[in-house]
């Protein structure tokens, strides 16, 4: 967290040493450029306010998202249940719809990259693995193993459909508290994903079971999000029926959790601040 002196605002910073930034220049530049391009364009993606650097580090300065990320929320509270998962995943659906419409594929969708804003809504972050592919294909082996689609694992080339697989994994995890294809090592995780070896919890509603079976599908000709109707098959699925998409995009639906903003205001007013000043 950083304090922007001229505006008096709190912001967050992603920090790279210059050595790391130079070594991973391609990914740092990609994230910097995409964050800058997305700033202010869509409510459920995070943007870049400005860059800062000192002799040792490079800082990507972004708006404050005081609620932490969904991984931390899962760790603190355990499984979120279908109602909260429905609320959060609806925003991820809209964020992916926006990114895909602009030609991007995210390739690293997971709870750690979804942050809770001051109003309790999500912001998709971490664009280091994002790539512009349009409706084409790419072959780069990348991502987080538990969320990687089979077509990435098998080096077959892939398109935006990999994000829908990751969304299915995310929805499962938010409901259960663990990923569906977990294993003792990466090899076992990949084998479980390729063989669709996962268990549908008995507490899942029939609608949720139906959606997961259609999203965690190896056959791309059957995977929801990749069919003729695209992402509309997901948005119109019975599990999402309670969602009013207009209320969600305008952030008018009550969020299940809102961060305590007073904590951050207390921090900036302390004499011995823990924040970096710019």
In whole angstroms, what is the distance from residue 234 CA to residue 225 CA? 6
276 is written with which tokens? 């970096």
Q: Which residue among the candidates 22, 72, 108, 117 is catalytic per the annotation?
A: 108
Catalytic site residue 108?
A: yes
Report the DSSP beta bridge partners of residue 114: 124
Beta carbons of 123 and 67 less than 8 angstroms apart? no
Give CA separation, 95 vs 65, 80, 118, 170, 243, in Å: 16, 20, 18, 14, 15
| Among candidate residues 20, 49, 42, 11, the one with its CA nearest the CA of residue 128 | 20
Cβ burial, residue 54 (10 Å; 0-12/13-18/19+): exposed
Q: Catalytic amino acids? A: 108
């Amino acid at each position: 967290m950083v304090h922007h002196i001229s505006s008096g605002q709190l912001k967050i910073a992603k920090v790279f040493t210059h050595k790391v930034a130079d070594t991973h220049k391609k990914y740092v530049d990609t994230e910097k450029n995409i964050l800058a391009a997305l700033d202010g364009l869509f409510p459920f993606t995070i943007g870049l306010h400005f860059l800062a650097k000192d002799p040792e580090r490079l800082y990507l300065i972004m708006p404050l998202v005081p609620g932490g990320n969904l991984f931390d929320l899962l760790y603190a509270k355990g499984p979120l249940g279908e109602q909260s998962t429905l609320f959060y995943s609806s925003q991820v659906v809209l964020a992916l719809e926006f990114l895909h419409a602009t030609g991007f594929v995210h390739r690293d969708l997971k709870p750690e990259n979804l942050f809770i804003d001051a109003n309790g809504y999500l912001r998709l972050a971490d664009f280091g693995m994002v790539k512009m592919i349009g409706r084409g294909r790419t072959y780069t082996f990348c991502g987080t193993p538990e969320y990687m689609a089979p077509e990435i694992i098998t080096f077959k080339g892939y398109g935006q459909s990999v994000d829908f697989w990751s969304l299915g994994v995310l929805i499962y995890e938010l409901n259960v508290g663990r990923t569906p294809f977990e294993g003792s090592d990466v090899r076992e995780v990949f084998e479980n994903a390729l063989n669709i070896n996962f268990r549908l919890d008995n507490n899942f509603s029939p609608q949720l079971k139906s959606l997961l079976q259609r999203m965690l599908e190896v056959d791309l000709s059957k995977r929801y999000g990749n069919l003729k109707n695209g992402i509309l098959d997901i948005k119109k699925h019975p599990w999402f029926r309670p969602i009013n998409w207009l209320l969600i995009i305008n952030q008018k639906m009550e969020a299940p959790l809102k961060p305590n903003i007073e904590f951050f205001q207390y921090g900036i007013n302390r004499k011995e601040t823990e924040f970096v000043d710019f």
